Structure 1
Amino acid sequence: MWLNRQPEDWSLSWGGSGAIYGWGHNHRGQLGGVEGTKVKLPTPCEALSALHPVQLVGGEQTLLAVTSDGKVYATGYGAGGRLGIGGTDTVLTPTLIESLQNVFIKKVAVNSGGNSTHYTYCTTLRTYTFCVILEALTADGEVYSWGEGDDGKLGHGDRSMCDRPCLIETLRGKEIIEIACGGAHSAAITSHGELYTWGKGRYGRLGHGDSEDQLKPKLVPMKIDSLAGLGVIKVECGSQFSVALMRSGSVYTWGKGDYHRLGHGSDDHVRRPRKVAALQGKKIISIATGSLHCVACSEQGEVFTWGDNDEGQLGDGSTNAIQKPRLVVALQGKNNKSCLWFCSYFGLEYG
């Protein structure tokens, strides 16, 4: 189940009468008040509908809702403090995250799937008109994070759990406008197009040229110098890799390279941002990642995919991995202008 009332963003289950419907796995109450552990048909979610949310986003057995007045509600599995309401109890109905009441949340960002994804972020940006997913930005461009802190992915300088939203002090004054998170690492973009990353560094997923974890030393989250001045406008954190979209329409990837998830034509690991050469000449306007594959949409409405394809997730009619971005022929002429922020998470990896 999902909802986002911004037409340029991903799809919705929002009835014409203003009702929200949910279905599927509900063992932890992640459908927000719907009864039953397995809901096989779309069922009205009265508690969620009453909130009139402008954004719904699901994590691993959790659901977050953002309302038009900047409030955030959470429901579902509470292990690791991922709901942000204090404690680790499971909650079966949408519950207000009280510690965020004094900031206006525009967007929340949540990483989905896998045992290493139990954390949440949100942001509040009064000066911007969009929202951020699984991290939280404030009116001053500040970032809050909460949940399990292993690998330093919360950005607070340690590996401790936070069961309530905590401000990431290192990002104060940076005017953060976009955020993203993977299973064990996170990223943020400033209003000047600078990119910061933190968390687990294995395989070079942070883009700093090494494989070191970044908890919150003096320079964490560190700016990725090789992208300075190019203007990053979008970032995605996949499973052990990262993708950045530049203002120019070019795409850079780095991190773990097997399954060809980086799109460079080899399975080599890349520890600094590297331009995806196969997209040269295409002005990309939207990107999305799954666990082991990527999607990019061009200004002309073309859709390109690459990476792992064992479940046919690349849309080329086969189950063969694709080493470099390839046009999805079946979508030609469909005027595609944006990719779903969430791609099916096939072949999850940990670490």
Structure 2
Amino acid sequence: MKRTITLLLLLLSLQTFAQCWQSISAGDYHSLAIKNDGTLWAWGRNTSYEIGDGTDVNRNIPKQIGTANNWVYVHAGYSSSYGIKADGTLWVWGANGSGKLGTGNTNWVIATPTQIGTATNWLSVSDGWYHTIALKTDGTLWAWGDNEYGQLGDNTTVDKLTPTQIGSATNWQTIETGIYHSLALKTDGTLWFWGSRFNIYGTSTQNNIPIQIGTDTNWFKLAGGQHHCAAIKTDGTLWTWGENSTGQLGDGTTIYRTTPIQVGTATDWLDVSAGTRYTIATKNNLSLWSWGYNYGGVLGLGTSGNNSDVYIPTQVGTSLDSNKISGGGYHALVINNDGFIRGTGSNVVGQIGDGTYVQKNVYTYISCYPSVLSHENFVINELKIYPNPIIDVLNFSFEKEITAVSIYNLLGQEVITKTVNSNETSINFAGLTAGTYLVKITSGNEIKTVKVIKN
């Protein structure tokens, strides 16, 4: 039976897209990400166990959570965390106030990822301060947690401790939340809202069931901040509404808006994310834009402090490679086309992940760290690599044919590559400086990567 060689010994910073970050989510004070190998990582504040490593210790660099390599979706919320695996199961950890994690109880915290129920068709999740909504792949809408303001949408104000289906519609497509409200798009392009209208519409009224906003049927992307909202239509126009105290709506004013208003006249907006009183977005050319409250330099424009708020969309730098974006509390994360994460803003609990607790007012790169995978099924003795440490020549022998060997330094640069097509071979390291190297051995469709040290 064919075996897949998957043992990765200190696969440290092979700086290629395939070994780096796939998706990100910036929460209130912590961050979650998935690498391209399917492993789950977390960093930032951990006082409510929202990192998921079983401790309450803050982390200022990404830390791998468990050894599973089948994570496909993460959402970092308000001291709570959510993840979905490739098998469609939903996992939660962190703060559980008002039962917002859906475990059936109101225990203060859950320290490590814990599966919710047995359903295998979860698609996405979003949370407010004390409530959570989610979608399944069948287009149904689910909610649980605090319901004081009708934010669950089940036409009551009764809290729910486990996932509860909202209505019977099966055409829900996209969900977002604010502190006490929820938003969603349907597959027909309509926009829906429920929960508290306080600070969003300037009143204290609420809706206990989803209500349609306007009659337009071309809504495409959706973002929910604490008290403001943003959306993109299929024609590429950008729209915002809600609180505007720091210019987060991007219309050049601080006037609250009770209904969506168009931001400028551009028709090339691609994606949008709403943080705490600020907004970030990308255009079709993958340029990055930001506006609103610039606390801690979260806008990434090289400024911070008093009088640094921005009231209209302003381009961040000149790069055209902002592939994925996520606005959190007072920090923002971006994944570039090269698969690396950049972060900016407040960093008091390490939520940027650059190894410091120093705020950044420009986007700063986060390293790619080695993964430990759970599906090791390779007998080490089958592949012999010797001597290690080495002085000049590194030898290889394997029961199968070795097709290629590549050597990388710890900057991820390929320094030697050799086509083999034999069970035995050797590589001369004499021309390389002393240090640690990563050796990738290919045998047909199987790959093994190991660390070697050159003296």
> Does the alignment reach a TM-score above 0.5?
yes
Which range is displaced more, 241-250 or 338-347? 338-347
Match of 1:312 in 2: 297
Matches for 1:242-257 after TM superposition, within 5 Å: 242-257=229-244
3-state SS in 2 of match to 1:180: strand
Q: Which runs of 5+ in 2 are unaligned?
A: 1-18, 26-31, 332-344, 347-455
Could you tell me which amino acid in structure 1 is paired with residue 212 of structure 2? K
Displacement of 1:333 after TM fit? Answer: 3.0
- Tell me, yes or no, if structure 1 residue 93 matches structure 2 residue 112: yes
Task: Name the structure with the higher strand share.
Answer: 2
Amino acid aligned to 2:273: A
Q: Secondary structure at the match of 1:54?
A: strand
Shift of 1:204: 4.2
Alignment match of 2:275 (pick from 272, 290, 302): 290
Is this contact kept in 2: 1:198–1:213, CA < 8 A? no
Give, in angstroms, the shift of residue 267 of structure 1: 0.9
Residue type matched to 2:213 in 1? Answer: I
- The residue aligned with 1:193 is 189
Deviations 1:113-147 (A, max 9, x none): xxxx122121112xxxxxxxxxxxxx1x1110111
Matched, 1:147 2:145: yes
Partner of 1:228: 216
- Per-residue deviation at 1:215? 3.1
Q: Which runs of 5+ in 1 are unaligned?
A: 112-116, 126-138
The Cα shift of 1:41 comes to 5.3
Deviations 1:232-255 (A, max 9, x none): 011111121111110001011111
> Residue type of the partner of 1:165?
P
Q: Distance in 1 between matches of 2:313 and 2:35?
A: 36
1:120 to 127, 132, 155: 132
Distance 1:262 1:43 in 2: 34
Matches within 5 A, 1:47-66: 49-50=67-68, 52-66=70-84
Give the aligned partner of residue 38 of structure 1. Answer: 58
Aligned length: 305
Deviations 1:317-336 (A, max 9, x none): 223111111222x2x13322
CA RMSD of aligned residues (A): 2.7
Do the aligned partners of 1:252 and 1:276 also contact (CA within 8 Å) in 2? yes
Q: Distance in 1 between matches of 2:165 and 2:329?
A: 29
TM-aligned CA deviation for residue 21 of structure 1:
4.0
Please, what TM-score do these two structures have when normalized by structure 2?
Answer: 0.61
Return closer, same or farther for 1:51/1:149 CA change in 2, 3 Å cut-off: farther
| Identity across the alignment (%) | 22
Q: Which has the higher contact order (CA 8 A, sep 6+)?
A: 2
Matches of 2:254 and 2:61, distance apart in 1: 41
- Counterparts in 2 of 1:174 and 1:106: CA distance versus 1, 3 Å: closer
Alignment match, 1:181: 177
Cα pair 1:285 1:297 within 8 Å, conserved: yes
Q: Residues 8-32 of structure 1: CA distance to partner in whole angstroms, max 9, x if unpaired?
A: 7437755677654444433333222
Deviations 1:89-129 (A, max 9, x none): 1222222111xx24510122234xxxxx122121112xxxx
Q: Equivalents in 2 of 1:17, 1:333: separation in Å?
A: 26
Which of 41, 46, 56 is the equivalent residue of 1:26? Answer: 46
* 1:213 aligned partner: 205
- Give 1:261-300 correspondences, 5 Å limit: 261-277=248-264, 280-300=265-285
Q: Secondary structure of the residue that 2:326 maps to in structure 1?
A: coil
1:343 offset after TM fit, Å?
6.0
Residues 185, 237 of structure 1: 8 Å contact kept? no
Query: Is the radius of gyration larger for structure 1 or structure 2?
Result: 2
